[in-house]
Structure formats: C-alpha cells, structure tokens
Copies of this chain bind each other. A is one copy, B any other.
C-alpha cells in the first residue's frame, strides 16, 4: 500500500465541506463562476477591513534585519501582549502575554492544545452538530471524539454531556457562535457547564479541559455578545483565529490562550509552546503576527452577513423550512425537507446551489448554508430554496 493504513481510512471519510468546495470550483470552470451559487464553505469573501490593508502595507515595507526570521516558538512578545490586552478586556480577567501562543490559525491552535493535554485513547466530548474536522484533529493524536445530542434549540444539553463523561474524558469542546447552527451559548449554560466539569474532574481524578473554539466570536447579530469562557471555568483554553473576523482564512494566523487561573498553568504553557514547535508549525507566520498586533478588536463589516442571514431566514421560514435563527457566525442549519440530506444537497447541486449535508456535521437530516458571500449569490439561491420548499412542503409558505 503506498499510503499508511490510517491514511486510507481517513481518505474514505474525506470532508463533505471540502468536497463541495472542490465541486464548486469544478462547476465554476464549466458554467462560469457567476452562475454557481456556492454556499458550502466558510471562506469569507467580504474584504478584510481597511485597517488590515494599511497594517499589511506597513509590515511588508519593514526591511529591518530578521523581520522574516524565526522568533521564539510562542510568537513575538508584542503580538502576544496585544492579544492579552484584548483578552483582558474581552474576558474580564487579567490575561498576560505569557498566557498566549500565536498559532497557524485555529486548526493549528486546536492541534497544539490536543497534543499538549491529550494522550492516545483520551476522549473529547462535543455537542452535535459539530465541525467534522474536530474528529480528524483528535485522530492525529490518537484521541477520540464523542459527540452528544444538543437541545432542540441547539443549546448544550448538560445531561447528555454529564452522561458521556467517563475516566477517559479529557476535553469538553465548545464552539460558540456555533458552526453550523449560529448558536451562541448563554453565560448561564457556560457557568453550569463549568460547575459540571469541576465536579466531574474531581470524580474522575483528572482535569477535564474546556476547549473553546471561537473564530466567530466577533461575528454576531442583533447586538448579541459571546459570553467569556474564562469567567465560567478555570481550566479553559481558547483556540481561535483571525480567519473569519478579518477575512484572512488563507493566511493561517490565530492563537491559543490559556486561562491564567488554570491549575498547572506553569506546565501547560511550556507544553503548548513545545507542541507548536514539534507539530512542525514552529511559529505562526511572522508577517501576519506583526499585522494582527495592530488589529486587536478590529473586524470586518458584519452588516453584509446580517443582511444575508435576514434574507435567507425570511425566505426559508416563509417557504416552510424549520430553521434556527443564527445569532452569530455566518452559517444556518435548516432541517432538510426530506430525511436524506445528501439527496437534498444533490437536488440543490443540480440547480448549481452548493450547500453541505448535515451528515458532514454528524447530524443527518439537516443541511448547512454558509452565507459569507456576496448578497447577489444569496439572492440568486433564494428562488431555488423557495421552489424546493414549494415542492416538499406543498405551499406551506405565507
């Protein structure tokens, strides 16, 4: 066999999201990009904010010796301190630069965390639906994902989480605002989760980490705010990136931040830094570290996303679809009109509308719409959603 056995298995489960992304590129080449309505991937096509362009020009013009060379594996001191200052404001607890490690995006951040705290055989619990890549990231470290049910409104189901915790549980993974539902977990849910993890950690005699994957934190609607996880539980690690809030997904810049109150923080931080190195990331890209140092608290204009959300939500509910109204992020997770979500996605695909089947999020019977696209793409897709609603719900629309 030319590739590893593990790789063969992995290939067979290749991501639906990426499949759709590649399918979109293929269809665009045939029908012209303007005739394909790709709502399948969280690749923001909103331009980065103007402040980014300025910061980038200046960073690129910087010719001081060594500016493109190695720096300590944790990242530039200035970048770490800028992030810490932002987190101190945002999380409401004092965070120092020593509690931050700059990473190759959130994908890098999560792998760094898993490598640091998880041994082979350890488990991470996640609430369904979930970003399917989590299972692959855990599998890198021979750890396992344990998906549990969420409540009907996609809030965390603490009873389900409690029932799933066992001596192998090492991580509770939350993602808020959630991909694919757009759900924000309220502070009282996080606090109750914190109490549960506190109690269960004592029971099993090992710390269960709360890992908060929050790249959509600054993409919120209707004046919503994402509650701070550091306030809810001491053993919390944040993984995030600037991919979504600054539209920089291809540049691979993000960070891990550890709650300074976490027991064992003095061994956690060297672990994270070492993991960043040995996993081959070495450090987050130098130039982008310098860029984001100056862009703390800056974000893209979310008005476009909110407009897309409103258009889609009104049309879909009007056409009879059952859908949770996203509070943040740029995804919507309607129930599929037919139980077979893959068949429904295929039906949309025939009309050149690309979505991702719920099966790609461990939750068949739904589909995900990514609305981080120009409004014209959303608008072009609306009649097709309406028409299929008509077909399956038989004129349930207003």
Which residues does A use to contact B, with CB under 8 Å? Answer: 1-7, 10-11, 14-15, 18, 21-22, 25, 41, 43-45, 47-48, 53, 56-57, 59-61, 63, 65-73, 104-105, 107-111, 115-120, 122, 133, 136-137, 139-140, 142, 206-207, 247-252, 262-265, 267-268, 270-271, 274-275, 277-288
Cβ of A109 to closest chain B Cβ, rounded Å: 8
Contact flag A2-B115 (CB < 8 Å), given A105-B282, A280-B105 = no
Question: Which residues from chain B contact A270 at a C-beta distance below 8 Å?
Answer: 11
Contact B10 A274 (CB under 8 A): yes
Contact B280 A137 (CB under 8 A): yes
Contact B140 A250 (CB under 8 A): no
The number of times this chain is found in the oligomer is 2
Question: Which residues from chain B contact A280 at a C-beta distance below 8 Å?
Answer: 104-105, 107-111, 137, 140, 279, 281
A15 to B72, CA, bound (A): 13
Question: Which residues from chain B contact A65 at a C-beta distance below 8 Å?
Answer: 45, 47
Question: Which residues from chain B contact A56 at a C-beta distance below 8 Å?
Answer: 60
Question: Which residues from chain B contact A47 at a C-beta distance below 8 Å?
Answer: 63, 65
Contact B45 A278 (CB under 8 A): no
Contact B45 A117 (CB under 8 A): no
Question: Which residues from chain B contact A277 at a C-beta distance below 8 Å?
Answer: 15, 18, 133, 136
Q: Which among A60, A109, A247 has the greatest number of chain B C-beta atoms within 10 A?
A: A60
Contact A68 B250 (CB under 8 A): yes
> Which residue in B45, B59, B206, B264 is a CB contact (below 8 Å) of A66?
B45
Question: Which residues from chain B contact A275 at a C-beta distance below 8 Å?
Answer: 7
A278 to B137, CA, bound (A): 6
A109 to B6, CA, bound (A): 18
Question: Which residues from chain B contact A262 at a C-beta distance below 8 Å?
Answer: 2
Cβ of A221 to closest chain B Cβ, rounded Å: 22
A-B contact pairs, 12 of them (CB 8 A): A4-B119, A7-B116, A7-B271, A11-B274, A18-B277, A53-B63, A56-B60, A57-B61, A108-B280, A109-B280, A250-B286, A252-B286
